[in-house]
Amino acid sequence: MVPVEGWDSMRRDLAGSGATQESAPAPALRSTGGTLDRRYLKQLYDNVHGTIYLDPTPSSFRGLHCISNCRLRDLKQLGIACMVYPGAVHTRFEHSLGVYWLAGQSLQYLQTYQGAELDIDHFDVQTVKLAGLLHDIGHGPFSHMFEHKFLPRVITGSHEQMSGKLVDYIVDQHHIDIDSECLKQDMIIASSNVSVANSMKEKRFLYDIVANGRNGIDVDKFDYIARDCRACGLGCNFQFRRLLQSMRIMDDEICYPAKEYLTVHKLFSTRADLHRTVYTHAKVMAIELMVVDALVKANDHLEISSYVTDPAEYWKLGDNILKIIETSPDPELKESRELILRIRRRDLYQFCNEYAVPKNKLDLFEDITAQDIKASGVQLREEDVAVSNVKIDLTCGRNNPLERISFFKDYESKEKFYISDDRISHLLPASYQDRIVRVYAKKPELVEAVSEAFENFQLRMYGIKAQVKNVKVWRFYMKR
């Protein structure tokens, strides 16, 4: 362990040397008690982080690891995006291993440079790494689509986070002998329940490593941004290792050097680019709308929504539910089967047009519905129209995310501070949120009618109409 008085100079040397994955010390090879022999470590090769080492852990940890990740192997990280980006077939199991590894690395750097003053022990390390491994265990099928788009249409009111219930179920069902304190479920849900994390009195910073509800910078984002960019063939110039190696704990909060504010901004802007080009791609959204309609139509027969109240049933939900519907002979699933077959044949809901909500209208904006569009059309039915309300921001709504992050001047500095909006580069965006309304026709022959209704709606709402897609040009290419 490096003495406290020596960590400043060593950290500057490491940050200035541009250390990479290959040159940085392997965090999993060392522990507080000394050096671990590589012969006793399980190693895996990850296509993002290279070789990942799994620390020797009690059998209880290994059991929880193996059993929980059996489910994550059946969930694609990006849901149905692979139908547009063929390489996006990586699973939440791969992502969770990456978060596990980065959580361990971040603690290793903190132990090396601030170990004595932070009092990070072996229990802390194992707990945070386990939280990284389990942070997505409660995810439903098809990425966030299941929770945010399907469930609101079939369940009234709110539904609880499933991660905590599912972990408890795994432990009880498989008789895993593990201290409940080790699970620290509040570390897993900190991003969605900031009050839980803020209530922690001791080593509060540990709760910000995997899921940071305070400012949005965490190893979960470090991994999925790099992994999703790679899988979709997109370039990624966000260097998360610069932040990983330079972070410092001040007043129980993770802080970063002020000179890295552009690196921090790159994190959020790269995430926004992924949302714009992948997660909310117009065709991805069209397929999602069709999958949601198929699930809603199948819900009465399969009672899919009832699974979210019972961990034993929820455990069974995976992306294979579409194949179950598609191959089922039940007449009650006929409409759902037809929708899935349309997706297979690429007979998708047709994109008609989109409209970016003016900045001065964002405060009063409410989601647009098919009923709103139908009311502006002639001889249209509500079931002929599908609407996707897209929100893209830098994790902080309409506010600059940099204003929530604590920075420090240099490693001798004892004070932390925020960087206000007027003290950063004027080349950065002046607006931090987009709200985009996309409208689709569920049948090809209705594209022109739906497009006209959408333009009428925009004229009535804002006095101008969208000019993104020319229907006549679309029809020309469809005839070719």
Question: Per mean pLDDT, which range of 24-38, 158-172, 393-407 is the poorest?
Answer: 24-38
Residue (of 229, 264, 274) closest to 98 by Cα position:
229
| Inter-helix orientation angle 122-134/92-118, to 10° | 160
- pTM of the full structure: 0.86
Residue (of 211, 186, 209) closest to 199 by Cα position:
186
> Which pLDDT belongs to residue 83?
96
Higher pLDDT residue, 226 or 178? 226
Centre a 10 Å sphere on the Cβ of residue 213 and count the other Cβ atoms it contains: 18
> Which pLDDT belongs to residue 6?
39
Residue 405 and residue 242 in contact, taking contact as beta carbons nearer than 8 Å: no
- For residue 390, pLDDT beyond 50: yes
Model confidence at 79, pLDDT cuts 50, 70, 90, reads very high
Residue (of 190, 202, 142, 145) closest to 163 by Cα position:
190
Task: Quote the CA–CA distance of 331 and 328 in Å, as a whole number.
Answer: 9
DSSP string, 194-256: HHHHHT--SSGGGGGSSS-TTTS--HHHHHHHHHHHHHTT------HHHHHHH-EEETTEEEE
Element (H, E) at 71: helix 59-72
Residues 6+ apart with CB under 8 A from 133: 65, 68, 69, 96, 97, 99, 100
> Which pLDDT belongs to residue 116?
81
Task: Quote the CA–CA distance of 207 and 189 in Å, as a whole number.
Answer: 9
Task: Quote the CA–CA distance of 109 and 35 in Å, as a whole number.
Answer: 16
Higher pLDDT residue, 5 or 428? 428
410's tokens = 């240099």
Strand partners, 355: 437
> Which pLDDT belongs to residue 67?
65
Which sign does the torsion angle of CA 109, 111, 116, 117 carry?
A: positive
Q: Characterize the bridge pairing of strands 385-393 and 248-250.
A: unpaired
Residue (of 431, 428, 429, 407) closest to 419 by Cα position:
407
- DSSP class of residue 33 equals T
Residue 462 and residue 431 in contact, taking contact as beta carbons nearer than 8 Å: no
Q: Characterize the bridge pairing of strands 248-250 and 253-257.
A: antiparallel
Instruction: Give the residue ranges of DSSP H helices in 366-446.
Output: 370-374
Which sequence positions are flagged as catalytic? 159
- Three-class SS of residue 400? coil
Residue 130 and residue 61 in contact, taking contact as beta carbons nearer than 8 Å: yes
Q: How far is CA 437 from the centre of its chain?
A: 21
Domains of the chain: 4-282 (1.10.3210.10), 349-394+433-480 (3.30.70.2760)
Centre a 10 Å sphere on the Cβ of residue 351 and count the other Cβ atoms it contains: 21
Model confidence at 43, pLDDT cuts 50, 70, 90, reads confident
Average confidence (pLDDT) over 331-348: 97
Average confidence (pLDDT) over 275-287: 97
106's tokens = 């971040």
- For residue 76, pLDDT beyond 60: yes
Instruction: Name the one residue in this structure whose structure tokens are 């893209």.
Output: 392
Phi, psi of 159 (to 5 degrees): -125, 145
Instruction: Name the one residue in this structure whose structure tokens are 């994955």.
Output: 21
- For residue 352, pLDDT beyond 90: yes
231's tokens = 């899988």
Task: Quote the CA–CA distance of 362 and 114 in Å, as a whole number.
Answer: 44
For 191-250, the pLDDT digits (tens) are 444 555 555 557 899 999 999 988 999 999 999 999 999 999 998 989 999 999 999 999
- Three-class SS of residue 480? coil
Higher pLDDT residue, 288 or 460? 288
Phi, psi of 52 (to 5 degrees): -110, 130
Average confidence (pLDDT) over 175-198: 57
Higher pLDDT residue, 423 or 459? 459
> Which pLDDT belongs to residue 202?
79
